[in-house]
């Protein structure tokens, strides 16, 4: 596996490659990330991964400085997966001058749910993803469904900018007890790790109630949040939305059985977890 840090080196390595499959990451890789590499290989060749902790998507009181950095272990895992190139730029490599041009998603998609609780987050995500796409110029790029809103925003961005990159969605990779794998799971204490699968259990309860014909969605959302709060969680939201645009479903949408998704974000101790489940 070649490890490169500069954009020029990356382009030298990929010159003439027309079927590159790309998986962008922030490192601290786990089995969920590695499953993305395997899916990427099914859609293109060679596979390129990136590791870059993007300062632009962290708020002023978020965990940029303490975000787990495990580069040596990450390299070992990527080599075992047969990744061809690891692009690991420094901030100076990717942002050699202040990144004054930014990509801003539309408010109706970027300022709800995660965007409401993490203002500016998606501006940072879309800006770095567009820049990484410009550097790698992939035929396909793979993103996990765990970050459901992020996936939708990136897919819409790629379409509206007519980028020559197909966005492939990977199913959420879960531990045996249902917890969605996340780099931030490492922040959980032993007791918190035992409690953490409750979030997914609540999503399943909400989804089942919707399938059973429960149409008071606000009540379902509130009940689920109250159950989490009673167990010591601090929920930001549990929201039932349309898969197509993450807007609240209307009575007509429910009548026509529009595909839905229930999304959640909640803090357990000091660790903020997100998850979702398609209905």
DSSP of 131-164: HHHHHH--SEEEEETTSHHHHHHHHHHHHHTT-S
Alpha-carbon span 274 to 218, nearest angstrom: 19
22-37: b (≥16 Cβ within 10 Å) or e: bbbbbbbbbebbbbbb
Q: Answer yes or no: 33 catalytic.
A: yes
Q: Where are the beta strands (DSSP E) in 82-233?
A: 85-87, 140-144, 166-170
Name the CA dihedral angle for 23, 48, 158, 97, rounded to a multiple of 10 degrees: 100
Rounded CA separation 239/61 (Å): 25
For residue 68, the SS3 value is: coil
Nearest to residue 47, comparing CAs of 4, 5, 17, 15? 17
Helices 148-160/121-136 angle, 10° precision: 50
**Active-site residue, from 30, 33, 43, 214:** 33
Q: Which of 5, 91, 11 is nearest to 55 (CA)?
A: 91
DSSP label at residue 248: P
**Contact status, residue 272 vs residue 175, Cβ threshold 8 Å:** no
Q: Answer whether 276's CB lies under 8 Å from 148's CB.
A: yes
Tell me the sheet residues that pair with 48: 22, 85
Active-site annotation, residues: 33
């Amino acid at each position: 596996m070649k490890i490169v840090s500069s954009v020029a080196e990356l382009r030298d390595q990929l010159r003439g490659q027309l079927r590159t499959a790309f998986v962008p990451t922030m490192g601290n890789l786990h089995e969920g990330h590695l499953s993305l590499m395997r899916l990427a290989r099914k859609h293109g060749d060679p596979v390129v991964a990136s590791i870059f902790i993007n300062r632009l998507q962290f708020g002023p009181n978020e965990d940029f400085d303490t975000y787990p950095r495990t580069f040596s272990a990450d390299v070992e895992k990527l080599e075992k997966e047969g990744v061809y190139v690891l692009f690991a730029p420094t901030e100076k490599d990717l942002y050699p001058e202040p990144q004054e041009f930014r990509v801003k998603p539309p408010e109706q998609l970027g300022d709800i749910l995660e965007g409401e609780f993490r203002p500016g987050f998606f501006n940072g995500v879309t800006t770095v993803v567009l820049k990484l796409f410009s550097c790698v110029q992939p035929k396909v790029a793979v993103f996990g469904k765990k970050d459901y809103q992020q996936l939708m925003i990136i897919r819409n961005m790629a379409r509206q900018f007519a980028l020559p990159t197909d966005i492939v969605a990977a199913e959420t990779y879960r531990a045996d007890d249902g917890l969605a794998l996340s780099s931030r799971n490492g922040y959980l204490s032993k007791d918190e790790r035992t409690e953490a699968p409750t979030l997914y259990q609540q999503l399943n309860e909400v989804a089942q109630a919707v399938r059973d014909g429960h149409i008071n969605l606000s009540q379902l959302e509130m009940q689920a949040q109250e159950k989490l709060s009673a167990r010591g969680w601090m929920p930001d939201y549990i929201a039932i939305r349309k898969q197509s645009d993450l807007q609240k479903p209307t009575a007509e949408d429910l009548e026509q059985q529009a595909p839905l998704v229930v999304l959640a974000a909640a803090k357990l101790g000091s660790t903020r977890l997100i998850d979702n489940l398609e209905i």
